[in-house]
Structure 1
Amino acid sequence: MSKILNYIKINELISTSGQPKIEQFEEIANEGFEVVINLALNDSSNAIENEDKIVTSLGMSYLHIPVSFEEPKLSDLKLFLNTLQALGANKVWVHCAKNYRVSAFMYVYHKYVLNTPFDEVDLSMFKKWSPNELWQALMKVEIDELKSV
């Protein structure tokens, strides 16, 4: 798993990364992951054509929540949080192009769903990427704002 671009294990049920290579999806399936969530756009520089077919052919479910890197929306974040919560005890792999979108969304997931203490959140991706004002605003969203979208 460590060879997958910007891999981060969140817990026993959730791992994240940048875009896996085609052959790495087989490794993900072999590790018992049941669902793959892709937050990247179809035209991302390292996107894989027919990723949905590749993933489902390996016996995993595939969900695509396309999030614009230039214009992330609060509604995207809310959809992601609700989707991840709805998956419950399923083992889920979440990725985007480089694990930047995912890391920002997972930060909010840690904050409001997992209630992870700040010093226990893996912030390693933020050494590679400094979120701009739009991403920072999403990461600073208050729980009431999420309920009102």
Structure 2
Amino acid sequence: MADPDDIRAWQRLDAEVTTSGRIEDKDVMRLADLGVAHVINLALETHPEALAGEGGKLAAQGIAYTHIPVPFDAPGEDHFAAFVKAVEEGPKPVHVHCIMNWRVSAFFYRYNRDVCGMPEAEARAMMARQWSPEGHDSKEARVWAQFIARTLK
């Protein structure tokens, strides 16, 4: 089955990892058909575009589910540590999403740079396919610029 081109901000990072913005009811079966074994959701379940009952709907298709609710105005190191653990220890293939694929792209930027050792420019280019907080003048963009500037100690 080909990658869907109508799931918001869909991106394949490699053979084992895909990302996107929000998913809808119709996407649950599509993810199963693609062979996705694990979904990690970084969005808040209270967001108006969040898929209600997402974990249960995925479980009904045999897909493991990890929810790491990351407030858009306050991404933390605890969120990033939970993300790294879920990506590394959870079943593969994995699909990681939020609402716009902005949280996800920033988390994978740090993961690729700090955990996988990807060159910074390559990791940044991958993030920029979806979003980059630099150049945006908002409180949230400044928070995300600070978040991606951090490195693992």
Correspondence for 1:124 among 105, 124, 129: 129
Aligned length: 143
Identity of aligned residues (%): 27
Residue by residue, what CA displacement relative to the aligned partner does 1:22-80 show, whole Å, maximum 9, x if unpaired? 11111111111100011101111201111111111111011101110111112111211
Correspondence for 1:55 among 55, 58, 68: 58
Provide the C-alpha distance between the structure 1 equivalents of 2:142 and 2:74, rounded to a whole number of angstroms.
11
1:22 to 2:31 alignment: no
Where 2:104 maps in the other structure, the secondary structure is: helix
Provide the C-alpha distance between the structure 2 equivalents of 1:128 and 1:3, rounded to a whole number of angstroms.
24
1:135 to 2:144 alignment: yes
Where 2:130 maps in the other structure, the secondary structure is: helix
- AA of the residue aligned to 2:131: F
TM-score for the superposition, normalised by structure 2? 0.86
Deviation of 1:15 after TM superposition, in Å, equals: 0.6
Residue by residue, what CA displacement relative to the aligned partner does 1:88-121 show, whole Å, maximum 9, x if unpaired? x611000001111111101001102222234433
TM-score for the superposition, normalised by structure 1? 0.88
Provide the C-alpha distance between the structure 1 equivalents of 2:106 and 2:24, rounded to a whole number of angstroms.
22
What's 1:5 paired with? 8
Provide the C-alpha distance between the structure 1 equivalents of 2:73 and 2:122, rounded to a whole number of angstroms.
28
Q: CA RMSD of the aligned region, Å?
A: 1.8
Unaligned runs of 5+ residues in structure 1 are 145-149
Deviation of 1:128 after TM superposition, in Å, equals: 9.1
Where does structure 1 differ by over 3 angstroms across 4 or more consecutive aligned residues? 118-121, 127-131
Structure number with higher relative contact order (C-alpha < 8 Å, ≥ 6 residues apart): 1
Unaligned runs of 5+ residues in structure 2 are none
What's 1:112 paired with? 114
**Inter-CA distance 128–31: structure 2 relative to 1 (3 Å threshold):** farther
